[in-house]
Structure 1
Amino acid sequence: MSVKKVRYYLFLKDILALAITAFGGPQAFLAMLLERMVQHRKYVSEEELWELNALCNMLPGPSSTQLVCAIAFRVGGPNLAYLALLVWILPASLLMTTAAILIDFLQENTPGALNFAQFIQPMAIGFVIFAAQKTISKLVQTTEAGILVLISAFVSFFYSSPYVFPILLILGGLSTSIKYKNQPKMERDEPLKIKWANFYLWGGVLLGAALLGAFTKDPSILLFENFYRNGSLIFGGGQVLVPYLYTEFVDFKQFLSSEEFLTGYAISQGIPGPTFSISSYVGALSLREFGPGGFMLGGMVSAAGIFLPGIFLIFFVIRFWDQLKTYRPVRAALEGINATSCGMLIAAAYLLFEPLEANFINIFMILGTYILLQFTKISSPMIISGGILLGIIVNYLTNGIGS
C-alpha cells in the first residue's frame, strides 16, 4: 500500500473517531481537531486550522462539517474530502433516523409514549437559549449589530416564514458592508482569480432540484430541495437551523408535531457528530407515510440535501480565499449576517416555547438546563439522559398511582 493510501486511511480513521466521540458542541469539537489533526497527525498547521475555521464560519452551511472537508481537501483533494464527508455524517445521521423510527413506533403502539420526553422538550429550549447567549456574546460587538439582532428577532417572530429568513440575512449583510472603511486594508499580491466550477455545481443542483420537484411532485425530490435550500442559506451553525426547520416542517407543512420536533432536537444534543444531523430525523418523519423504506429514504435524502451545498461552497471558496479576504466589504458584511442569525435564534427560543404549556415545570426545566450548561461542566449527553430518566420515572409513578 502506498504512503498516500496509508495517509488517506489514517485520515478517515481519525474522522470516524471524531464522528463517534465529538460531544459538547463546536468548542469541544475544535479542541479535539486541534489535538488530533494538528498536534498529533500534523495534517495542517494550527494557523491553517484557525483560518479554515474562520472561512467556514463565513459561509452558509454546517461549519463543523465544512471544516472537516476543508482539511481533507488540503490533505488529499476533493476525493478524500467527499469520503471524509460520508464518514463524518453517517453515524449521527443513522442515529437520528433510528430515533425517528423509534419515536414514531412508540407513538403508534403506546398511547402517551412521548411522556418520557415531557422534560426534554422544554430542555431543548434551554439548549437554544444557551446557544443564543454564547453566539451573541461572541459575534455581537457593536451597537449596530445589537440593533440588527433586535430587528431580526422581531421580524422572525412575527413573520416566521422560511422565505423571510434569507431576505433578512442578505439585508443584514448589506447593512454592515457599507461600513467597510472601518476594516483594515490588506495588501493584494495579484487580481482575484475565481474558478467557478463548484459554484455552478451548487447552483445547478439547487435549480435542478427545484425544477425536478415542481415537475414530478415526487416527495423525496421535494424533500431534498427543501433541505438543500435550507443548507444553502444557514449562517451560524446547527442552532440557527432550528427556526428554519421548525417553521417549514412544523408550522407550514405540518409533517411533524411540535412535540416530535422538540424531542428530536433534544436527542440531537445528546449524540456525537454534526448538529445538522437533526435533519435526518425531520426528513425521516416527513416520509413516514411510505413505511420503513420512507424513513430510511427521508433520512438519507435530507442528510444529502442539508450537507452538500455547504461542501460545494467551501470547495468553491477555498481555492481563492486568500485573495477574497483582502476585500473589506466582504469582511464587513459578516457582522450583519452574524447579528441577523443571532436574532433568529432569539425568535426560535420563543417560537419553540409557544406550543408548550406555560407552567412552572416547563419554565423550571428550561432555566435549569440553561444553568447547568452555563455554570457546570456536565456534558450535554448527560443532561439529556438525566431528563429522559426523570421523565420515565415520573411517567411510571404517575401511571402507577393512577392504576
Structure 2
Amino acid sequence: MWADTVRSGQGTPGEVFAAFLKLGVTSFGGPIAHLGYYRDELVVRRKWLSESAYGDLVALCQFLPGPASSQVGFALGMMRAGWLGALAAFVAFTLPSALLMVIFALVAVNLSGPVAMGVLHGLKIVAVAVVAQAVMGMAKNLCPDKERAAIAVSAVAVLAVLPTAFGMVGAIMLGAVLGLLLGRGSGNTSGGAIFSVVSRPIAIAALGCWLGLLVVLPLIAGQSAGLSLFDGFYRAGSLVFGGGHVVLPLLQAETVEQGWVTEHQFLAGYGAAQALPGPLFTFAAYLGAVKSGEPNGIFGAVLALAAIFAPGYLVLVGTLPFWDRFRTMARAQSLMQGANAAVVGILGAALYSPVFTGGIHDLKDLALGLLCFVLLTAWMKPPWMVVIVAALGGILLEVA
C-alpha cells in the first residue's frame, strides 16, 4: 500500500525546498529527463518512496492534463511534508528557470545589432528541431497503430479548418470520442495502490474549482486585462496532454493570435527555454513579461505562471483519492489514448505553423535546422548544447 511505501509527513518544507531547488537548477532535458532526475535523487538516494510507488505516481501524472514532471514533484512534496511541502517543491523547482525566462524577456526587448539578431534567429531555428524531435517521439509512443495515426491526421484536418483555440479543443474531443469507439484500453491495474493524503471532500472541491474556473473565466475575462491574461493561460494549462512541448500550440493560439506577443518574440522565447533547466511551462513567465499592454513585466509573468500551472495541480489534487478505481476502467484508458493521439496531430500542425514558417526562410536556415535536429536525435546531444550551436549558427547567418 501507498502508506507502506512512502515516508509521508516525515520531512519538513525546508528539506523539500532544498531537494527541489537542487533539481530545479540541474534538471535539463525536458519532462522525461526530469522524472529520471527525481528518481535518482528522491527514490534511490534519499529513499523518500519505493520504486513501485514512484512508478504509479508517474503513471497518474502522465494520464492527467498538465505538466507531468511538475505534478509529480508537487505530489512528492505533499507526501513528504504536507501542503507546505507541495508548495515548497513547486516554488523551488520552478523558480530558477522562471527567473531566467523573465530576465531574458526584459533583456530581449532591448537587443539590437547583427549579433543579437543572429542569436534570436538561431533560437527560432532550434525550436524547429526541438518540436520535430518531440513530434517524432510522441508519434512513436502515442500513435503505434494505423487507427491512432488516423486520429492524429484528423486533428490536423480540424485545425486546418478551424485554426484557433476552439479548434484545438474540438480536435482533442474528437480524438477522445474516436478513442472510445476504438476501445483499445485494457484496464490494466499493475503497480501499487496510490493511498492519498488528500481527502475526498478536498478532492471534489479541487475538481469543482478546476471546472468552475474553466467555465467562468471566459465569461468574465472581458472585465479586465488581468482576467483576460489569466483566462488564456489557464485554458492552455487545462488542455495540455502528452508532455511539455504540447503547450506550444496552445500558447501560440492564446498569445500570438490575440496580438499579445509577436511571432518573432514567441519563437525566440521558446528557443531560449530549451537551454534552461526546470519545467518548460516557465515559458509562460516569458510571455507574460513581454506581453504588449498591461499586465506585463514582473506582474504579467507571475500571473501567467500561476494561471498555467493551476489547472494541472487542481486536477492532480482532485484525482488522487479516486485514481485506484479510475485506472481500472478500460473506457477511461481508451478515451485518453484517443485524446493523446489527437495531441500528436496538434503538435504536428504547430511544427508547420508557426514554428517552421516562422523560423525557416531559406536553405541556409533549413541547413542549420537540420543540423540541430541531427544533433538532438542521432548524436543525442542535450538541448542546451544544441541551443548554443543554433545561436552561433544564427550569428554566422546574420553577419555573412
TM-score higher than 0.5: yes
Aligned CA distance change for structure 1 residues 177 and 56 (closer, same or farther; 3 Å): same
**Kept in 2: contact 1:124–1:265 (CA 8 A):** yes
Which residue does 1:146 correspond to in 2? Answer: 149
Match of 1:318, SS?
Answer: helix
2:200 equivalent to 1:200: no
**Kept in 2: contact 1:186–1:327 (CA 8 A):** no
2:394 to 391, 395, 400: 391
1:10 to 3, 15, 30: 15
Paired with 1:173 and 1:223, the residues of 2 have a C-alpha distance of: 28
Paired with 1:164 and 1:390, the residues of 2 have a C-alpha distance of: 36
Instruction: Give the letter aligned to residue 26 of structure 1.
Output: P
2:138 equivalent to 1:132: no
**Kept in 1: contact 2:118–2:396 (CA 8 A):** no
2:357 equivalent to 1:354: yes
Paired with 2:248 and 2:144, the residues of 1 have a C-alpha distance of: 24
2:117 equivalent to 1:114: yes
Query: Which sections of structure 1, spanning at least 5 residues, go unmatched?
Result: 399-403
Paired with 2:307 and 2:167, the residues of 1 have a C-alpha distance of: 20
Instruction: Give the letter aligned to residue 16 of structure 2.
Output: F
1:300 to 295, 299, 302: 302
The Cα shift of 1:393 comes to 4.7
Instruction: Give the letter aligned to residue 310 of structure 1.
Output: G
Paired with 1:364 and 1:330, the residues of 2 have a C-alpha distance of: 43
**Kept in 2: contact 1:179–1:329 (CA 8 A):** no
Which residue does 2:338 correspond to in 1? Answer: 336
Paired with 2:385 and 2:275, the residues of 1 have a C-alpha distance of: 7
Show CA shifts across 1:4-27 (max 9, x none): 685432222111111111001223
The Cα shift of 1:165 comes to 0.8
Paired with 2:16 and 2:359, the residues of 1 have a C-alpha distance of: 45
Which residue does 1:23 correspond to in 2? Answer: 28
Paired with 2:206 and 2:311, the residues of 1 have a C-alpha distance of: 10
Paired with 1:390 and 1:26, the residues of 2 have a C-alpha distance of: 27
**Kept in 1: contact 2:221–2:228 (CA 8 A):** yes
2:230 equivalent to 1:224: yes
Show CA shifts across 1:176-221 (max 9, x none): 123447625769x9xxx7841111222333345434422x2x2222
Instruction: Give the letter aligned to residue 125 of structure 1.
Output: V
Paired with 1:186 and 1:59, the residues of 2 have a C-alpha distance of: 17
Aligned CA distance change for structure 1 residues 208 and 84 (closer, same or farther; 3 Å): farther
The Cα shift of 1:316 comes to 0.5
2:334 equivalent to 1:326: no
Instruction: Give the letter aligned to residue 336 of structure 2.
Output: L
Match of 2:110, SS?
Answer: helix
The Cα shift of 1:167 comes to 1.7
**Kept in 2: contact 1:270–1:380 (CA 8 A):** yes
Instruction: Give the letter aligned to residue 57 of structure 2.
Output: L
Instruction: Give the letter aligned to residue 331 of structure 1.
Output: Q
**Kept in 2: contact 1:166–1:233 (CA 8 A):** yes
Paired with 2:41 and 2:358, the residues of 1 have a C-alpha distance of: 43
Paired with 1:31 and 1:357, the residues of 2 have a C-alpha distance of: 33
Instruction: Give the letter aligned to residue 63 of structure 2.
Output: M
Paired with 2:382 and 2:23, the residues of 1 have a C-alpha distance of: 16
Aligned CA distance change for structure 1 residues 183 and 255 (closer, same or farther; 3 Å): same
Which residue does 1:401 correspond to in 2? Answer: none
Query: Which sections of structure 2, spanning at least 5 residues, go unmatched?
Result: 1-7, 194-199
2:265 equivalent to 1:257: no
Please say which of residues 123-132 and 253-262 is displaced more in the overlay: 253-262
2:182 equivalent to 1:176: no
Instruction: Give the letter aligned to residue 151 of structure 1.
Output: S
Which residue does 2:85 correspond to in 1? Answer: 80
Structure 1 runs of 4+ aligned residues shifted over 4 Å read 3-6, 110-113, 184-187
Paired with 2:291 and 2:80, the residues of 1 have a C-alpha distance of: 37
The Cα shift of 1:305 comes to 0.5
2:254 equivalent to 1:248: yes
